[in-house]
Amino acid sequence: MVCTTAITSWYQTQFDAFTKATGVKVQYVEGGSGAIVERLSKERSNPQADVLVTLPPFIQRAAAEKLLQDFTPQDAAQIADAQPQFVPLVNNYLSFIYNAKLLPQAPRQLSTTAGTRNSAISCSTPRRVRRVTAPR
């Protein structure tokens, strides 16, 4: 079973190729990154997923909670930033868009914005933009 945040035509092409090569039909579960990792946590004693496709920071959360097993794929040495429990599928970069008049120095991490003017951060997900309020 594959747990993923979104099924796109690219995934379906890969699943079809896998089924053709192995005879094994891919079953997949789609959901938000947090929901997928939460599912893995609930299934800890009886894991159902063979593959997890999710986004940072959720993949790191799954690794930290020991929900993933170590795995070294073929040609792992050629994959930038490969970790024992996961490898990147694409190069995603955390980006900050900020108002230089309000913050003369560009933030380097989210914690540097804590306690600022509104104590809130707007963040984008592929499905929506939402406002996240920092704890006070």
Residues in the chain: 136
Partners of 95 in beta bridges: none
* Per-residue model confidence as pLDDT tens digits over 15-39: 999 999 999 999 988 888 888 999 9
Q: Which residue has the tokens 């592929």?
A: 126
Other Cβ atoms closer than 10 A to 119 = 12
Residue 136 confidence (pLDDT) above 50: no
Whether residue 68 contacts residue 85, with contact meaning beta carbons closer than 8 Å, is answered with: yes
Q: Please give the pLDDT value at position 129.
A: 46
Q: Please give the pLDDT value at position 122.
A: 61
Q: Please give the pLDDT value at position 87.
A: 86
Q: Is 132 exposed, middle or buried (0-12, 13-18, 19+ CB in 10 A)?
A: exposed
Residue 92 confidence (pLDDT) above 50: yes
Residue 64 confidence (pLDDT) above 90: yes
CATH of 2-78, one of 3.30.43.10, 3.40.50.10090, 3.40.190.10, 3.40.50.740: 3.40.190.10
Weakest mean pLDDT among 61-75, 96-110, 117-131: 117-131
Residue 124 confidence (pLDDT) above 60: no
Q: Please give the pLDDT value at position 25.
A: 94
Q: Cα 78 to chain center, whole Å?
A: 21
Who's near 81: CB < 8 A, 6+ residues apart? 87, 88
Domain layout of the chain by residue ranges: 2-78, 94-136
| Exposure b/e, 47-57, CB count within 10 A at least 16 = b | eebeebbbbee
The pair of three-digit structure tokens given for residue 129, joined into one six-digit string = 């933009």
